[in-house]
Structure formats: C-alpha cells, structure tokens
C-alpha cells in the first residue's frame, strides 16, 4: 500500500484515449504535458497550451493508491472538435513508485447530434524519476 501522507507534484504527461470518429473501433490519443501542484490535499494539473490552442486542466485527490478527479479538455478551434470543452470524471491507480497513474475516464459527448456517454483509458506519467514528495502537513 502506498503511504497516503506522501503526494506528488512536478512535471507530468497526461494521455487520454477516446473513440476515433475517423476509424470506428479504434482509439485516438490526446497528449498534454504540464505540471501538478498541491493545494490543501488536492492536486491540479495544468497543461501547456498547444500551438493550436488546446489544453487540459484536471483536479484530483489521492487516497492511498487511488486517484479520483475531474478533467476539462479544451479542444483546438482549428481541429475536428472545433474548440469544444469536454468534462470527464476519472479514477486511476497510482503505482508503487508514485510515478504513474493508469485509469479510466467517463464523459458525455455527441454521436451524430445525439448525446452519448463515452469511456476510455488514461495515463499520467512523471517526466523523470526525481519525485518531489510533499506531506499532507505542508
């Protein structure tokens, strides 16, 4: 079990996989590099804004090895989803080295003009092996 008094901050990559509109039955991936920061037991991830204007913001809590949160993806106004903002809930498991989270997300989208619930997988991975560990008392 992971010591829940030690939580992570720093540079991470957030990847989430979603059903492809162009190739049915396959997944596409969105990749966002950014930073985690801790504030009163919550973590916020803010990605860098891409040249096309897309970015991701996520907020989560960590209880032992379970991460639970919400992500907001702002898509590019120049690409397929035309600047849409998607909000999804997620849960994932933090590995014993505290440098990777694997999990699932769920959110609502549109399929031919009809609202539909989508699910997919995601990963969060620390950029390097030097962890910045904080305690809940900080």
pLDDT tens per residue, range 103-136:
999 999 877 789 999 999 999 999 864 445 443 3
> What residues make up the domain containing 37?
6-131
Domain contains 137: no
Residue 23 lies in a domain: yes
Q: Is the separation of the CB atoms in 45 and 58 below 8 Å?
A: yes
* CATH number of the domain residue 25 falls in: 2.40.128
What's the pLDDT score for residue 137?
34
pLDDT digits (tens, 9 = 90+) for 82-107: 888 899 999 999 998 888 999 999 99
> For residue 99, is it within any domain?
yes
Task: State the average pLDDT for the chain.
Answer: 84
Question: pTM (2 decimals)?
Answer: 0.82
- State the total domains in the chain: 1
């Amino acid at each position: 079990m992971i010591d829940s008094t030690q939580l992570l901050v720093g540079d991470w990559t957030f990847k989430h996989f979603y059903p492809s509109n162009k190739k049915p039955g396959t997944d596409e991936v969105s990749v966002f590099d950014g930073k985690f920061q801790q504030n009163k037991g919550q973590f916020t991830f803010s990605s860098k804004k891409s040249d096309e204007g897309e970015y991701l913001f996520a907020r989560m809590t960590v209880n032992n090895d379970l991460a639970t949160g919400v992500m907001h993806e702002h898509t590019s106004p120049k690409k397929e989803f035309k600047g849409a903002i998607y909000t999804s809930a997620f849960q994932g498991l933090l590995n014993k080295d505290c440098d990777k989270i694997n999990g699932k997300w769920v959110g609502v989208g549109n399929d031919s003009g009809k609202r539909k619930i989508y699910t997919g997988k995601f990963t969060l991975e620390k950029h390097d092996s030097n962890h910045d560990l904080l305690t809940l008392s900080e």
